[in-house]
Structure 1
Amino acid sequence: MNAIKKNIYYKILAVAVIFIFFALVAPLCAPNDPLHTDFEHVLEKPGENYLLGTDQVGRCVLSRILYGARVSLGMTFSLLGMVFIFGVGIGTVAGMSGKVVDSFITRLIDVILSFPEIVFAIGIVGIIGPGIKNTIFALSIIWWTKYARLTRVLVISIKNSEYLAAARMAGAGTLRCVFKYILPNIVSPLAVQFVLDIGNIMLALAGLSFLGLGVQPPIPEWGNMLNEGRAYLQTAPWLLLYPGLAIFLTVSLFNVLGDMTRDFLDIKNI
Protein backbone atom coordinates (compact mmCIF):
# COMPACT_ATOMS: atom_id res chain seq x y z
CA MET A 1 0.00 0.00 0.00
CA ASN A 2 1.46 3.33 -1.07
CA ALA A 3 1.55 6.53 0.97
CA ILE A 4 -1.63 7.99 -0.59
CA LYS A 5 -3.66 4.86 0.14
CA LYS A 6 -2.27 4.73 3.67
CA ASN A 7 -3.37 8.30 4.23
CA ILE A 8 -6.87 7.47 2.97
CA TYR A 9 -6.94 4.36 5.13
CA TYR A 10 -6.06 6.31 8.27
CA LYS A 11 -8.78 8.85 7.52
CA ILE A 12 -11.41 6.13 7.03
CA LEU A 13 -10.23 4.46 10.22
CA ALA A 14 -10.57 7.79 12.05
CA VAL A 15 -14.13 8.18 10.74
CA ALA A 16 -14.99 4.66 11.97
CA VAL A 17 -13.52 5.42 15.41
CA ILE A 18 -15.48 8.68 15.59
CA PHE A 19 -18.67 6.85 14.64
CA ILE A 20 -18.11 4.23 17.34
CA PHE A 21 -17.37 7.00 19.87
CA PHE A 22 -20.61 8.85 19.11
CA ALA A 23 -22.55 5.59 19.28
CA LEU A 24 -21.13 4.91 22.74
CA VAL A 25 -22.01 8.40 24.01
CA ALA A 26 -25.45 8.47 22.37
CA PRO A 27 -27.18 9.48 25.62
CA LEU A 28 -25.03 12.62 25.72
CA CYS A 29 -25.57 13.48 22.04
CA ALA A 30 -29.26 12.67 21.60
CA PRO A 31 -31.42 15.82 21.88
CA ASN A 32 -34.41 13.89 23.26
CA ASP A 33 -35.39 10.66 24.96
CA PRO A 34 -35.79 8.12 22.11
CA LEU A 35 -38.72 6.47 23.89
CA HIS A 36 -40.58 9.68 24.80
CA THR A 37 -43.87 10.05 22.92
CA ASP A 38 -45.29 13.46 22.05
CA PHE A 39 -48.73 13.15 20.46
CA GLU A 40 -48.83 16.87 19.74
CA HIS A 41 -45.98 16.41 17.22
CA VAL A 42 -46.91 13.15 15.50
CA LEU A 43 -45.28 12.71 12.07
CA GLU A 44 -43.79 16.18 12.24
CA LYS A 45 -41.54 17.02 9.31
CA PRO A 46 -37.83 17.66 9.85
CA GLY A 47 -37.45 21.19 11.16
CA GLU A 48 -36.26 23.41 13.93
CA ASN A 49 -37.77 21.47 16.83
CA TYR A 50 -36.91 18.01 15.50
CA LEU A 51 -34.02 18.00 13.04
CA LEU A 52 -35.02 14.68 11.45
CA GLY A 53 -38.71 14.86 12.28
CA THR A 54 -40.81 12.59 14.47
CA ASP A 55 -42.41 9.19 13.99
CA GLN A 56 -45.98 7.92 14.24
CA VAL A 57 -46.14 8.44 18.01
CA GLY A 58 -44.11 11.66 18.19
CA ARG A 59 -40.70 10.20 19.04
CA CYS A 60 -37.58 12.07 17.90
CA VAL A 61 -36.13 10.30 14.85
CA LEU A 62 -32.64 11.75 15.36
CA SER A 63 -32.48 10.49 18.96
CA ARG A 64 -33.69 7.06 17.89
CA ILE A 65 -31.06 6.86 15.13
CA LEU A 66 -28.29 7.78 17.58
CA TYR A 67 -29.47 5.21 20.10
CA GLY A 68 -29.98 2.76 17.25
CA ALA A 69 -26.30 3.04 16.38
CA ARG A 70 -25.47 2.07 19.94
CA VAL A 71 -27.80 -0.93 19.83
CA SER A 72 -26.55 -2.06 16.41
CA LEU A 73 -22.88 -1.77 17.35
CA GLY A 74 -23.44 -3.47 20.69
CA MET A 75 -25.16 -6.42 19.05
CA THR A 76 -22.59 -6.59 16.26
CA PHE A 77 -19.51 -6.63 18.47
CA SER A 78 -21.13 -8.99 20.99
CA LEU A 79 -21.87 -11.44 18.19
CA LEU A 80 -18.48 -11.02 16.56
CA GLY A 81 -16.66 -11.50 19.86
CA MET A 82 -18.44 -14.79 20.52
CA VAL A 83 -18.06 -16.26 17.04
CA PHE A 84 -14.43 -15.13 16.81
CA ILE A 85 -13.38 -16.83 20.04
CA PHE A 86 -15.41 -19.98 19.42
CA GLY A 87 -14.59 -20.23 15.72
CA VAL A 88 -10.85 -19.70 16.18
CA GLY A 89 -10.83 -22.27 18.99
CA ILE A 90 -12.66 -24.92 16.96
CA GLY A 91 -10.57 -24.19 13.87
CA THR A 92 -7.36 -24.56 15.86
CA VAL A 93 -8.52 -27.88 17.29
CA ALA A 94 -9.40 -29.12 13.80
CA GLY A 95 -6.07 -28.02 12.34
CA MET A 96 -4.00 -29.54 15.13
CA SER A 97 -5.99 -32.77 15.53
CA GLY A 98 -5.84 -36.02 13.65
CA LYS A 99 -7.84 -37.05 10.63
CA VAL A 100 -10.96 -38.25 12.50
CA VAL A 101 -11.55 -35.07 14.53
CA ASP A 102 -10.61 -32.84 11.62
CA SER A 103 -13.00 -34.66 9.25
CA PHE A 104 -15.87 -34.46 11.74
CA ILE A 105 -15.44 -30.70 12.29
CA THR A 106 -15.00 -30.08 8.57
CA ARG A 107 -18.20 -31.99 7.71
CA LEU A 108 -20.10 -30.10 10.42
CA ILE A 109 -18.92 -26.77 8.99
CA ASP A 110 -19.88 -27.83 5.46
CA VAL A 111 -23.38 -28.83 6.58
CA ILE A 112 -24.01 -25.50 8.33
CA LEU A 113 -22.59 -23.48 5.45
CA SER A 114 -24.82 -25.32 2.97
CA PHE A 115 -27.79 -23.30 4.27
CA PRO A 116 -28.27 -19.65 3.27
CA GLU A 117 -27.32 -17.49 6.25
CA ILE A 118 -30.45 -15.37 6.57
CA VAL A 119 -32.84 -18.25 5.82
CA PHE A 120 -31.14 -20.40 8.47
CA ALA A 121 -31.28 -17.55 10.99
CA ILE A 122 -34.95 -16.86 10.22
CA GLY A 123 -35.75 -20.52 10.83
CA ILE A 124 -33.97 -20.57 14.20
CA VAL A 125 -35.50 -17.29 15.40
CA GLY A 126 -38.90 -18.47 14.20
CA ILE A 127 -38.56 -21.53 16.45
CA ILE A 128 -37.09 -19.96 19.60
CA GLY A 129 -38.83 -16.58 19.25
CA PRO A 130 -37.76 -13.02 18.36
CA GLY A 131 -35.56 -10.80 20.50
CA ILE A 132 -32.01 -9.50 20.81
CA LYS A 133 -30.51 -12.55 22.53
CA ASN A 134 -32.23 -15.03 20.23
CA THR A 135 -31.14 -13.10 17.13
CA ILE A 136 -27.52 -13.06 18.28
CA PHE A 137 -27.73 -16.76 19.09
CA ALA A 138 -29.21 -17.62 15.68
CA LEU A 139 -26.55 -15.74 13.73
CA SER A 140 -23.73 -17.05 15.94
CA ILE A 141 -24.65 -20.64 15.01
CA ILE A 142 -23.83 -19.75 11.40
CA TRP A 143 -21.04 -17.22 11.65
CA TRP A 144 -18.56 -19.19 13.77
CA THR A 145 -18.05 -21.56 10.85
CA LYS A 146 -16.31 -18.85 8.79
CA TYR A 147 -13.66 -18.30 11.43
CA ALA A 148 -13.30 -22.01 12.11
CA ARG A 149 -12.73 -22.82 8.44
CA LEU A 150 -10.27 -19.95 7.93
CA THR A 151 -8.38 -20.79 11.13
CA ARG A 152 -8.16 -24.47 10.22
CA VAL A 153 -6.60 -23.69 6.84
CA LEU A 154 -4.11 -21.26 8.37
CA VAL A 155 -3.16 -23.64 11.18
CA ILE A 156 -2.57 -26.53 8.78
CA SER A 157 -0.33 -24.33 6.61
CA ILE A 158 1.81 -23.43 9.61
CA LYS A 159 1.72 -26.83 11.36
CA ASN A 160 3.97 -28.37 8.72
CA SER A 161 6.41 -25.45 8.60
CA GLU A 162 10.11 -25.89 9.35
CA TYR A 163 10.25 -23.39 12.21
CA LEU A 164 7.42 -25.19 14.04
CA ALA A 165 9.22 -28.50 13.57
CA ALA A 166 12.31 -26.88 15.06
CA ALA A 167 10.27 -25.64 18.02
CA ARG A 168 8.97 -29.16 18.63
CA MET A 169 12.48 -30.54 18.49
CA ALA A 170 13.46 -27.93 21.07
CA GLY A 171 10.86 -29.35 23.44
CA ALA A 172 7.86 -27.09 22.83
CA GLY A 173 4.55 -28.76 23.61
CA THR A 174 1.30 -28.45 21.66
CA LEU A 175 -0.10 -25.57 23.72
CA ARG A 176 3.16 -23.65 23.53
CA CYS A 177 3.29 -24.14 19.76
CA VAL A 178 -0.31 -22.94 19.40
CA PHE A 179 -0.09 -19.83 21.55
CA LYS A 180 3.49 -18.77 20.78
CA TYR A 181 4.05 -19.79 17.18
CA ILE A 182 0.72 -20.42 15.44
CA LEU A 183 -1.86 -17.91 16.69
CA PRO A 184 0.47 -14.86 16.48
CA ASN A 185 1.16 -15.72 12.83
CA ILE A 186 -2.49 -15.99 11.81
CA VAL A 187 -3.85 -12.96 13.65
CA SER A 188 -3.59 -10.66 10.59
CA PRO A 189 -5.97 -12.55 8.25
CA LEU A 190 -8.33 -13.17 11.18
CA ALA A 191 -8.34 -9.45 11.99
CA VAL A 192 -9.17 -8.63 8.38
CA GLN A 193 -12.07 -11.10 8.43
CA PHE A 194 -13.27 -9.54 11.68
CA VAL A 195 -13.37 -6.03 10.19
CA LEU A 196 -15.02 -7.26 6.99
CA ASP A 197 -17.77 -8.96 9.00
CA ILE A 198 -18.75 -5.82 10.95
CA GLY A 199 -20.78 -4.40 8.07
CA ASN A 200 -22.14 -7.81 7.04
CA ILE A 201 -23.40 -8.63 10.53
CA MET A 202 -24.92 -5.16 10.99
CA LEU A 203 -26.81 -5.68 7.73
CA ALA A 204 -27.97 -9.15 8.79
CA LEU A 205 -29.15 -7.88 12.18
CA ALA A 206 -30.99 -4.97 10.57
CA GLY A 207 -32.60 -7.35 8.09
CA LEU A 208 -33.93 -9.62 10.83
CA SER A 209 -35.24 -6.62 12.77
CA PHE A 210 -36.92 -5.33 9.61
CA LEU A 211 -38.72 -8.66 9.32
CA GLY A 212 -39.88 -8.34 12.93
CA LEU A 213 -37.63 -11.16 14.18
CA GLY A 214 -34.83 -9.12 15.74
CA VAL A 215 -35.00 -6.16 18.08
CA GLN A 216 -38.57 -5.58 19.21
CA PRO A 217 -40.34 -2.21 19.63
CA PRO A 218 -39.98 0.20 21.28
CA ILE A 219 -36.19 -0.36 21.42
CA PRO A 220 -34.61 1.93 18.78
CA GLU A 221 -32.78 -0.05 16.10
CA TRP A 222 -32.35 0.87 12.44
CA GLY A 223 -33.96 -2.22 10.94
CA ASN A 224 -36.81 -1.98 13.42
CA MET A 225 -37.29 1.70 12.53
CA LEU A 226 -37.54 0.77 8.86
CA ASN A 227 -40.15 -1.84 9.68
CA GLU A 228 -42.22 0.67 11.65
CA GLY A 229 -41.88 3.41 9.05
CA ARG A 230 -42.76 1.48 5.89
CA ALA A 231 -46.48 2.07 6.50
CA TYR A 232 -45.83 5.82 6.24
CA LEU A 233 -43.79 5.82 3.04
CA GLN A 234 -46.04 8.35 1.28
CA THR A 235 -47.00 10.54 4.24
CA ALA A 236 -43.69 10.55 6.18
CA PRO A 237 -40.84 9.32 3.93
CA TRP A 238 -38.20 10.52 6.44
CA LEU A 239 -39.10 7.55 8.65
CA LEU A 240 -37.55 5.30 5.99
CA LEU A 241 -34.99 7.69 4.52
CA TYR A 242 -32.87 8.42 7.59
CA PRO A 243 -32.64 4.91 9.10
CA GLY A 244 -31.98 3.50 5.63
CA LEU A 245 -29.29 6.08 5.03
CA ALA A 246 -27.72 5.27 8.40
CA ILE A 247 -27.57 1.57 7.51
CA PHE A 248 -26.17 2.25 4.03
CA LEU A 249 -23.45 4.64 5.19
CA THR A 250 -22.38 2.53 8.17
CA VAL A 251 -22.22 -0.75 6.27
CA SER A 252 -20.38 0.94 3.39
CA LEU A 253 -17.91 2.52 5.84
CA PHE A 254 -16.96 -0.76 7.47
CA ASN A 255 -16.87 -2.65 4.16
CA VAL A 256 -14.43 -0.12 2.72
CA LEU A 257 -12.44 -0.21 5.96
CA GLY A 258 -12.26 -3.99 5.76
CA ASP A 259 -11.07 -3.97 2.15
CA MET A 260 -8.43 -1.35 2.91
CA THR A 261 -7.33 -3.23 6.05
CA ARG A 262 -6.75 -6.28 3.86
CA ASP A 263 -4.57 -4.20 1.52
CA PHE A 264 -2.83 -2.53 4.46
CA LEU A 265 -1.87 -5.88 6.00
CA ASP A 266 -1.17 -7.33 2.54
CA ILE A 267 -3.55 -10.27 2.97
CA LYS A 268 -4.28 -12.01 -0.35
CA ASN A 269 -6.47 -14.98 0.60
CA ILE A 270 -9.63 -13.39 2.09
Structure 2
Amino acid sequence: MRNKKHKKLTFIIILSIAILTIVFAIIAPAFAPNDPLATDFINILKEPSEKYPLGTDQVGRCIYSRILYGAKVSLGMTFLLLALLFVLGVIIGIVAGMSDGIIDTIIMRTSDIVLSFPGIVFAISIVGMLGPGMLNTIIALSVIWWTKYARLTRVLVMGVKNSEYIDAGIMAGAGRVKLITHYIIPNIISPLVVQFALDIGGMMLTLSGLSFLGLGVQPPTPEWGNMLSEGRAYLQTAPWLLIYPGLAIFIVVAIFNILGDIVRDILDPKHV
Protein backbone atom coordinates (compact mmCIF):
# COMPACT_ATOMS: atom_id res chain seq x y z
CA MET A 1 0.00 0.00 0.00
CA ARG A 2 2.81 2.38 0.92
CA ASN A 3 4.65 1.59 -2.31
CA LYS A 4 1.46 2.26 -4.30
CA LYS A 5 1.01 5.65 -2.64
CA HIS A 6 4.64 6.48 -3.35
CA LYS A 7 4.18 5.62 -7.05
CA LYS A 8 1.07 7.79 -7.28
CA LEU A 9 2.82 10.71 -5.59
CA THR A 10 5.80 10.34 -7.93
CA PHE A 11 3.44 10.15 -10.90
CA ILE A 12 1.65 13.35 -9.85
CA ILE A 13 4.95 15.19 -9.42
CA ILE A 14 6.44 14.06 -12.74
CA LEU A 15 3.14 14.61 -14.58
CA SER A 16 2.97 18.14 -13.15
CA ILE A 17 6.52 18.82 -14.33
CA ALA A 18 5.70 17.42 -17.79
CA ILE A 19 2.55 19.55 -18.06
CA LEU A 20 4.47 22.64 -16.95
CA THR A 21 7.10 21.83 -19.59
CA ILE A 22 4.44 21.67 -22.30
CA VAL A 23 2.75 24.86 -21.11
CA PHE A 24 6.09 26.64 -20.93
CA ALA A 25 6.96 25.48 -24.46
CA ILE A 26 3.70 27.02 -25.70
CA ILE A 27 4.20 30.39 -23.97
CA ALA A 28 8.03 30.43 -24.08
CA PRO A 29 8.28 32.83 -27.05
CA ALA A 30 6.67 35.51 -24.85
CA PHE A 31 9.74 35.36 -22.59
CA ALA A 32 12.28 35.65 -25.40
CA PRO A 33 14.32 38.86 -24.96
CA ASN A 34 15.30 39.03 -28.63
CA ASP A 35 14.07 38.07 -32.08
CA PRO A 36 15.36 34.51 -32.65
CA LEU A 37 15.90 35.21 -36.36
CA ALA A 38 17.49 38.65 -36.02
CA THR A 39 21.19 38.67 -36.89
CA ASP A 40 23.71 40.95 -35.22
CA PHE A 41 27.06 40.80 -36.97
CA ILE A 42 28.65 43.06 -34.39
CA ASN A 43 27.98 40.46 -31.66
CA ILE A 44 28.94 37.22 -33.41
CA LEU A 45 29.83 34.31 -31.07
CA LYS A 46 29.54 36.48 -27.97
CA GLU A 47 29.68 34.79 -24.58
CA PRO A 48 26.61 34.94 -22.30
CA SER A 49 25.85 38.50 -21.25
CA GLU A 50 23.01 40.65 -19.97
CA LYS A 51 21.71 41.32 -23.48
CA TYR A 52 22.27 37.73 -24.62
CA PRO A 53 21.78 35.46 -21.53
CA LEU A 54 23.12 32.34 -23.27
CA GLY A 55 25.39 34.02 -25.79
CA THR A 56 25.05 34.38 -29.56
CA ASP A 57 25.65 32.09 -32.51
CA GLN A 58 27.75 32.38 -35.66
CA VAL A 59 25.53 35.14 -37.12
CA GLY A 60 24.81 36.94 -33.86
CA ARG A 61 21.41 35.44 -33.06
CA CYS A 62 20.36 35.13 -29.42
CA ILE A 63 20.77 31.51 -28.28
CA TYR A 64 18.38 31.96 -25.34
CA SER A 65 15.59 33.27 -27.60
CA ARG A 66 16.19 30.52 -30.13
CA ILE A 67 16.00 27.82 -27.45
CA LEU A 68 12.71 29.27 -26.17
CA TYR A 69 11.21 29.36 -29.66
CA GLY A 70 12.74 25.95 -30.39
CA ALA A 71 10.89 24.42 -27.43
CA LYS A 72 7.58 25.11 -29.15
CA VAL A 73 8.84 23.69 -32.44
CA SER A 74 10.48 20.57 -30.97
CA LEU A 75 7.70 19.63 -28.55
CA GLY A 76 4.97 20.67 -30.98
CA MET A 77 6.32 18.44 -33.74
CA THR A 78 6.83 15.56 -31.31
CA PHE A 79 3.27 15.55 -30.00
CA LEU A 80 1.69 16.32 -33.37
CA LEU A 81 3.48 13.44 -35.05
CA LEU A 82 2.91 10.99 -32.19
CA ALA A 83 -0.80 11.86 -32.06
CA LEU A 84 -1.06 11.31 -35.82
CA LEU A 85 0.75 7.96 -35.61
CA PHE A 86 -1.27 6.91 -32.58
CA VAL A 87 -4.61 7.48 -34.34
CA LEU A 88 -3.40 5.99 -37.63
CA GLY A 89 -1.83 2.94 -35.99
CA VAL A 90 -4.83 2.25 -33.73
CA ILE A 91 -7.26 2.44 -36.65
CA ILE A 92 -5.13 0.11 -38.79
CA GLY A 93 -4.63 -2.25 -35.85
CA ILE A 94 -8.36 -2.41 -35.11
CA VAL A 95 -9.11 -3.13 -38.77
CA ALA A 96 -6.51 -5.92 -38.78
CA GLY A 97 -7.65 -7.34 -35.45
CA MET A 98 -11.33 -7.37 -36.37
CA SER A 99 -10.72 -8.79 -39.83
CA ASP A 100 -9.94 -12.33 -40.79
CA GLY A 101 -8.02 -13.54 -43.79
CA ILE A 102 -6.67 -11.35 -46.55
CA ILE A 103 -6.99 -7.90 -44.94
CA ASP A 104 -5.20 -8.92 -41.77
CA THR A 105 -2.54 -10.73 -43.80
CA ILE A 106 -1.88 -7.72 -46.05
CA ILE A 107 -1.56 -5.32 -43.10
CA MET A 108 0.74 -7.59 -41.13
CA ARG A 109 2.96 -8.47 -44.08
CA THR A 110 3.26 -4.77 -44.92
CA SER A 111 4.31 -4.02 -41.36
CA ASP A 112 6.82 -6.88 -41.51
CA ILE A 113 8.38 -5.36 -44.62
CA VAL A 114 8.65 -1.94 -42.96
CA LEU A 115 10.13 -3.43 -39.78
CA SER A 116 12.72 -5.37 -41.76
CA PHE A 117 14.61 -2.10 -42.31
CA PRO A 118 16.46 -0.23 -39.52
CA GLY A 119 14.07 2.57 -38.56
CA ILE A 120 16.36 5.61 -38.61
CA VAL A 121 18.13 4.43 -41.78
CA PHE A 122 14.77 3.96 -43.52
CA ALA A 123 13.68 7.44 -42.40
CA ILE A 124 16.89 9.00 -43.68
CA SER A 125 16.40 7.23 -47.02
CA ILE A 126 12.83 8.47 -47.40
CA VAL A 127 13.66 12.07 -46.45
CA GLY A 128 16.69 11.91 -48.73
CA MET A 129 14.45 10.97 -51.66
CA LEU A 130 11.68 13.45 -50.84
CA GLY A 131 13.97 16.27 -49.79
CA PRO A 132 14.66 17.83 -46.38
CA GLY A 133 11.90 19.62 -44.52
CA MET A 134 9.34 19.29 -41.76
CA LEU A 135 6.56 17.83 -43.94
CA ASN A 136 8.81 15.18 -45.49
CA THR A 137 10.15 14.27 -42.04
CA ILE A 138 6.59 13.69 -40.83
CA ILE A 139 5.86 11.54 -43.88
CA ALA A 140 9.05 9.48 -43.40
CA LEU A 141 8.45 8.80 -39.71
CA SER A 142 4.77 8.06 -40.35
CA VAL A 143 5.78 5.32 -42.79
CA ILE A 144 7.87 3.69 -40.05
CA TRP A 145 6.24 4.29 -36.69
CA TRP A 146 2.64 3.34 -37.50
CA THR A 147 3.63 -0.33 -37.35
CA LYS A 148 4.31 -0.17 -33.61
CA TYR A 149 0.80 0.99 -32.70
CA ALA A 150 -0.86 -1.12 -35.39
CA ARG A 151 0.72 -4.37 -34.23
CA LEU A 152 0.13 -3.63 -30.56
CA THR A 153 -3.51 -2.71 -31.21
CA ARG A 154 -4.06 -5.83 -33.32
CA VAL A 155 -2.74 -8.09 -30.55
CA LEU A 156 -4.91 -6.35 -27.95
CA VAL A 157 -8.03 -6.51 -30.14
CA MET A 158 -7.54 -10.19 -30.86
CA GLY A 159 -7.18 -10.78 -27.14
CA VAL A 160 -10.53 -9.21 -26.27
CA LYS A 161 -12.78 -9.67 -29.31
CA ASN A 162 -13.88 -13.14 -28.21
CA SER A 163 -14.52 -12.10 -24.61
CA GLU A 164 -17.88 -12.60 -22.95
CA TYR A 165 -18.65 -8.90 -22.71
CA ILE A 166 -18.20 -8.63 -26.47
CA ASP A 167 -20.68 -11.47 -26.95
CA ALA A 168 -23.03 -9.70 -24.55
CA GLY A 169 -22.73 -6.51 -26.59
CA ILE A 170 -23.53 -8.39 -29.80
CA MET A 171 -26.56 -10.00 -28.17
CA ALA A 172 -27.69 -6.54 -27.02
CA GLY A 173 -27.73 -5.44 -30.65
CA ALA A 174 -24.51 -3.42 -30.78
CA GLY A 175 -23.17 -2.91 -34.28
CA ARG A 176 -19.52 -3.19 -35.22
CA VAL A 177 -18.81 0.52 -34.70
CA LYS A 178 -20.43 0.50 -31.25
CA LEU A 179 -18.58 -2.67 -30.32
CA ILE A 180 -15.30 -0.98 -31.17
CA THR A 181 -16.00 2.37 -29.51
CA HIS A 182 -17.90 1.16 -26.42
CA TYR A 183 -16.45 -2.28 -25.72
CA ILE A 184 -13.07 -2.81 -27.36
CA ILE A 185 -11.26 0.55 -27.18
CA PRO A 186 -12.00 1.16 -23.46
CA ASN A 187 -10.48 -2.24 -22.68
CA ILE A 188 -7.31 -1.85 -24.74
CA ILE A 189 -6.53 1.83 -24.26
CA SER A 190 -4.25 1.48 -21.19
CA PRO A 191 -1.37 -0.36 -22.94
CA LEU A 192 -1.65 2.06 -25.84
CA VAL A 193 -1.36 5.07 -23.53
CA VAL A 194 1.67 3.46 -21.91
CA GLN A 195 3.30 3.00 -25.31
CA PHE A 196 2.48 6.60 -26.28
CA ALA A 197 4.06 7.92 -23.08
CA LEU A 198 7.17 5.79 -23.59
CA ASP A 199 7.55 7.02 -27.17
CA ILE A 200 7.60 10.77 -26.43
CA GLY A 201 11.28 10.92 -25.56
CA GLY A 202 12.28 8.62 -28.40
CA MET A 203 10.32 10.63 -30.95
CA MET A 204 11.90 13.88 -29.80
CA LEU A 205 15.38 12.35 -30.12
CA THR A 206 14.55 11.01 -33.58
CA LEU A 207 13.26 14.38 -34.79
CA SER A 208 16.24 16.19 -33.30
CA GLY A 209 18.56 13.64 -34.88
CA LEU A 210 17.09 14.16 -38.34
CA SER A 211 17.31 17.94 -37.91
CA PHE A 212 20.92 17.54 -36.77
CA LEU A 213 21.65 15.70 -40.02
CA GLY A 214 20.03 18.53 -41.98
CA LEU A 215 16.96 16.48 -42.98
CA GLY A 216 14.36 17.77 -40.53
CA VAL A 217 13.41 21.33 -39.64
CA GLN A 218 15.48 23.65 -41.78
CA PRO A 219 17.39 26.76 -40.66
CA PRO A 220 16.78 29.52 -39.82
CA THR A 221 13.75 28.07 -37.98
CA PRO A 222 14.91 27.53 -34.39
CA GLU A 223 14.85 23.84 -33.49
CA TRP A 224 17.12 22.19 -30.97
CA GLY A 225 18.47 19.57 -33.38
CA ASN A 226 19.47 22.01 -36.11
CA MET A 227 20.90 24.36 -33.46
CA LEU A 228 23.26 21.54 -32.47
CA SER A 229 24.12 21.00 -36.12
CA GLU A 230 24.92 24.67 -36.67
CA GLY A 231 27.03 24.84 -33.52
CA ARG A 232 29.17 21.72 -33.97
CA ALA A 233 31.79 23.61 -36.00
CA TYR A 234 32.32 25.95 -33.04
CA LEU A 235 32.72 23.35 -30.28
CA GLN A 236 36.11 24.66 -29.18
CA THR A 237 35.60 28.39 -29.72
CA ALA A 238 31.94 28.74 -28.64
CA PRO A 239 30.83 25.61 -26.75
CA TRP A 240 27.62 27.29 -25.55
CA LEU A 241 26.23 26.77 -29.05
CA LEU A 242 26.02 23.04 -28.27
CA ILE A 243 25.78 22.97 -24.48
CA TYR A 244 22.47 24.77 -24.09
CA PRO A 245 20.45 23.14 -26.91
CA GLY A 246 21.87 19.75 -25.88
CA LEU A 247 20.94 20.39 -22.26
CA ALA A 248 17.41 21.37 -23.30
CA ILE A 249 16.99 18.11 -25.24
CA PHE A 250 18.44 16.07 -22.37
CA ILE A 251 16.16 17.61 -19.72
CA VAL A 252 12.94 17.34 -21.72
CA VAL A 253 13.65 13.78 -22.93
CA ALA A 254 14.55 12.72 -19.38
CA ILE A 255 11.30 14.17 -18.00
CA PHE A 256 9.12 12.34 -20.51
CA ASN A 257 11.11 9.09 -20.24
CA ILE A 258 10.59 9.09 -16.47
CA LEU A 259 6.91 9.90 -17.00
CA GLY A 260 6.60 7.00 -19.45
CA ASP A 261 8.17 4.57 -16.99
CA ILE A 262 5.84 5.67 -14.20
CA VAL A 263 2.76 5.47 -16.44
CA ARG A 264 3.81 1.94 -17.39
CA ASP A 265 4.20 0.96 -13.72
CA ILE A 266 0.75 2.31 -12.87
CA LEU A 267 -1.29 1.23 -15.91
CA ASP A 268 0.39 -2.06 -16.80
CA PRO A 269 -0.20 -4.56 -13.96
CA LYS A 270 1.89 -7.21 -15.75
CA HIS A 271 4.98 -5.05 -15.69
CA VAL A 272 7.35 -5.87 -12.86
Give the TM-score range, shorter chain.
Answer: over 0.9
Residue 165 of structure 1 corresponds to: 167
Deviation per CA, 1:41-100: give whole Å up to 9, x if none. 111111222111110111110111111110011111111121111110000000000122
Report Cα offsets for 1:153-189 as digits up to 9, x if no partner: 0000000111111221222221111111001111111
Query: What is the number of equivalent residue pairs in this alignment?
Result: 270
Which amino acid counterpart does residue 140 of structure 2 have in structure 1? A
Structure 1 residue 266 displacement after superposition: 3.0
Correspondence 1:230-249 to 2 at 5 A:
230-249=232-251
Equivalent position SS for 1:2:
helix
SS at match of 1:234: coil
In structure 2, the residue matched to 1:115 is 117
**Percent of paired sites with the same residue:** 65
Matched AA of 1:124? I
The alignment partner of 1:22 has SS state of helix
Q: Which runs of 5+ in 2 are unaligned?
A: none
Q: Which residue of 1 aligns with 2:135?
A: 133
The RMSD of aligned alpha carbons is 1.3
Alpha-carbon distance between aligned partners in 1 of 2:213 and 2:53, rounded to the nearest angstrom = 27
Query: In the alignment, which residue of structure 1 is the partner of 2:76?
Result: 74
The alignment status of 1:83 with 2:76, answered yes or no, reads no
Give yes or no for contact 2:190–2:268 (8 Å, CA) kept in 1.
Answer: no
Cross-structure match for 1:103: 105
Q: Higher mean Cα deviation, 99-108 or 195-204?
A: 99-108
Structure 1 residue 39 corresponds to structure 2 residue 30: no
Separation in structure 1 between the aligned mates of residue 269 and residue 230 of structure 2, nearest angstrom: 41
For 1:156 and 1:190, the matched residues in 2 are separated by: 15
1:213 to 211, 215, 219: 215
**Equivalent-residue separation in structure 2 for 1:267 and 1:242 (angstroms):** 38
1:223 corresponds to which letter in structure 2? Answer: G
Alpha-carbon distance in 2 for matches of 1:268, 1:80 = 25
Q: Which residue in the other structure is 1:148 paired with? A: 150
Contact 1:199-1:252 within 8 A present in 2 as well: yes
Structure 1 portions without partners, runs of 5+: none
> TM-score, with normalisation over the residues of structure 2?
0.96
1:269 deviates by: 6.3
What is the rounded CA distance, in whole Å, between the counterparts of 1:90 and 1:61 in structure 2?
A: 42
